[in-house]
Structures are given as C-alpha cells and as structure tokens.
Amino acid sequence: MNKGWSAAMALMGLAAMVTEACAQNVRVNVGIANSATDAALFVADKKGYFKAKGLDVNFIAFDSGARMIAPFASGDLDVGAGGPSAGLYNAVARGIDIRIVADKSSTPPGRPINFLLVRKDHVESGRYKTLADLKGMKVAGAAPGGAATTTLDKLLEKAGLRIADVERVYLGFPQQVIALQNKAVDAALPTEPSASEGVKNGSAVRIIGDDEIYPNHQLAAIFYAGQFAANKPEAARRFMRAYIRGARDYADAIVNGKLSGPKGEEMIAILTASSQIKDPEIYRAITAANIDPDGKLGVESLKEDLAIFTKEGLIEGKVDINKVIDTSFAETVVRELGPYKRGEK
C-alpha cells in the first residue's frame, strides 16, 4: 500500500471520528424538581458523565413533576425527573407519548423523602397532638394530582380522615417552608432538603416520614418524551447510562442511610452546588434519598397511585399503565454494566 493511499485512509478515518463525535453532541432538555432526589442527575452532570456521552444537558427547574406535562406535550422537554402524576396519565390518555423509564426515588422503611411538617406554634399550643388534629388545617403539597397527593391520601387514611377534611394548598417545596414560616399554611409535605430547612429555621416540627406513611412508594421517576425515546434512541440510551452511573456513585457514598465519608462529602459538595439548599450541614444530617443504582421501578406502587388518582376522580380517560412504563433503557444499561455492586463502576 503506497503512502498516499495510507494517508487518504487515515484522513477518512479521522473524518469519520469527527462526524461521529459531532453526531453525538445532542442537546437534552431535562425537567427537574430541584430536590435531593435529583442527586443522581446532579452527579452525572458535575462529574461529566453526560458530557462524556456527547450529551449537552440543560436542566430546567419546575416546582413539581406535574408541571412538566405541558412542556413534554409541546416538545420542549426530552427528559423529566419528578413524581408520576394524574396529569401524566391524563396526557397519555390523550395520546401524548410519555414514558416512565427509571427510578428516581422510593421510600423503603428507614429511607423517607417527604415529611409531614406541622407548624411549631400548633404543636406548642396543643392545637396539634395527633394526626387526627389535621382536620380543618391548610396542608401544602406540591401540585394537584402529584405524588404528594397519594402520600396525603395514605396519611389521612392513617388519621381516620378524608381528603375533604383538610384544605389543600399547592406550592413548590421551598415555598412550603416559607408558607409555614409566614403561617400561611398549617402543615406541609415537603421533600428533603426543604423539610429539614423548615425544622432548622424553627417554624415547624417533623411529625412522620413517608416511609411510614406509604412504604416503598415510587415517589419519583425519570420520564422520557416519546419523541426522544423513539427518534433519538441512542441518545436516550447514553443518557440512561450516564444517569445510572451517577446513581451508582451516589449509592456508594451512603453509609447507614447517610451521606458519609470522603465519597459522602463529594456528594454533599455536588448537592450544595446544584440545588437550592446551600448549607452542607443539612445534607449531612438528612437521610439520603433512596435512588436505585440499577434504575429499577416499583411497578406495584405506580399501579396503586393510579388507582388512587382514579378513585379521586382525577383521571380523565383509560390508561394502561403497562404501556406507560418502559424499562428497556435501564435494563439495556444494566445488562451492559452488570448489576450494581458497591464500589464498582
């Protein structure tokens, strides 16, 4: 083979590599709730896992997963990270292709994410003594028909109350803490780290965690827009691989339910840099969000949530949840990487 031919072949190979690299530079708009359960996304971003996969990830903050549905429908979001909501299922019933593709957080015993907070003055005055005293109170949740709706339903059932026995108010998690401080609401169900912020500032008392209210609740998940999954399947797979790598780094940093040791400090630094809570002591104190390092979903919990939404009259059509759930991306990544083992990449 002559030198000219070799040089030409080398240039062709280089051109192919450049073309492939350019093709991999995919913009991905990702909706987040800006909570501790976004940790795996923050880790994958800050540690360069998305970038290494040729993904230009743009995080867009929402006050709940339910608020992401309209941007999904308009094509403005590719990926979402929030609670499976009645709005999501109604969108699916209208023919909008949104898929639940991986775990973002769940609540096994000992790993709460949301907490019932009651105003401290109510506890000190005796207005609040037991869960039954929630009757007549204003209780803040993230959004109508969101994940907190089913948590509140289970909580009131535990208290022997009905939904009609409380006045529901809808606010983002940080705003719930402000509303407790301002005495605009009586109780709230914020996620961490906002829940700990409410206790730390002296406005509220932590009553019960959602791991007791609704054990093994699939509280939040990763969603793919159907167009992203169908039209950009390779980018969707690369996104999932980077996400699961972030989830595994996060899982490695948890010791006895807390972010601890050098790896824990690395995660805390990422969370304080990426989320709205900037006090690292809060992240050291809270129970770490339970994020499955293989992305495995709690399908039975999703079915139960849909049944609750249906019972409350929030579902406007027929939904086959088995057609909403798409675990193929996470399963493909786990086959490639192998099941999670602590400390392994």
In terms of pLDDT, which residue wins out, 142 or 183? Answer: 183
Q: What is the pLDDT of residues 269-318, one digit of tens each?
A: 999 999 877 889 989 998 999 999 999 999 999 999 999 999 889 999 89
Q: Do domains 24-106+218-270+292-337 and 115-213 have the same CATH topology?
A: yes
Residue 24: band (very low, low, confident or very high) from pLDDT cuts 50, 70, 90: low
pLDDT exceeds cutoff 60 at 15: no
Residue 338 phi, psi dihedral angles, 5° rounding = 90, 155
d(CA 81, CA 105): 10
d(CA 143, CA 67): 8
Q: Is 200 exposed, middle or buried (0-12, 13-18, 19+ CB in 10 A)?
A: middle
Worst-scoring range by mean pLDDT, 134-148, 178-192, 288-302? 134-148
pLDDT exceeds cutoff 80 at 168: yes
Start-to-end CA distance of the chain, whole Å, equals 42
* pTM: predicted TM-score of the whole model, two decimal places: 0.84
Q: Which fold has domain 115-213?
A: D-Maltodextrin-Binding Protein; domain 2 (3.40.190)
For 338, the token pair is: 């192998």
Dihedral of alpha carbons 75, 76, 81, 83, sign: negative
To the nearest whole percent, how much of the chain has pLDDT over 70?
Answer: 92
What secondary structure, in 3-state letters, does the chain show?
CCHHHHHHHHHHHHHHHHHHHHHHCEEEEEEECCCHHHHHHHHHHHCCHHHHCCEEEEEEECCCHHHHHHHHHHCCCCEEEECCCHHHHHHHHCCCCEEEEEEEEECCCCCCCEEEEEEHHHHHHCCCCCHHHHCCCEEEECCCCCHHHHHHHHHHHHHCCCHHHCEEEECCHHHHHHHHHCCCCCEECCECCHHHHHHHCCCEEEEEEHHHHCCCCCCEEEEEEHHHHHHCHHHHHHHHHHHHHHHHHHHHCEECCEECHHHHHHHHHHHHHHCCCCCHHHHHHCCCCECCCCCCCCHHHHHHHHHHHHHCCCCCCCCCHHHHECCHHHHHHHHHHCCCCCCCC
d(CA 304, CA 104): 17
Q: What is the pLDDT of residues 190-224, one digit of tens each?
A: 988 889 889 999 999 999 999 999 999 999 999 99
- CA angle centred on 110, ends 107 and 112, rounded to 5°: 45
Worst-scoring range by mean pLDDT, 89-103, 294-308, 331-345? 331-345
pLDDT at 64: 73
d(CA 290, CA 183): 31
pLDDT exceeds cutoff 80 at 164: yes
Q: Per-domain residue ranges for the chain?
A: 24-106+218-270+292-337, 115-213
pLDDT at 272: 92
pLDDT exceeds cutoff 80 at 12: no
Q: What is the pLDDT of residues 55-68, one digit of tens each?
A: 999 999 987 777 88
Q: Which fold has domain 24-106+218-270+292-337?
A: D-Maltodextrin-Binding Protein; domain 2 (3.40.190)
pLDDT exceeds cutoff 90 at 25: no
pLDDT exceeds cutoff 50 at 9: no
96: left (phi over 0), alpha (psi -120 to 50) or beta: beta
Overall average pLDDT of the 106-133 stretch: 96
Worst-scoring range by mean pLDDT, 1-15, 279-293, 314-328? 1-15
d(CA 195, CA 209): 10
pLDDT at 345: 61
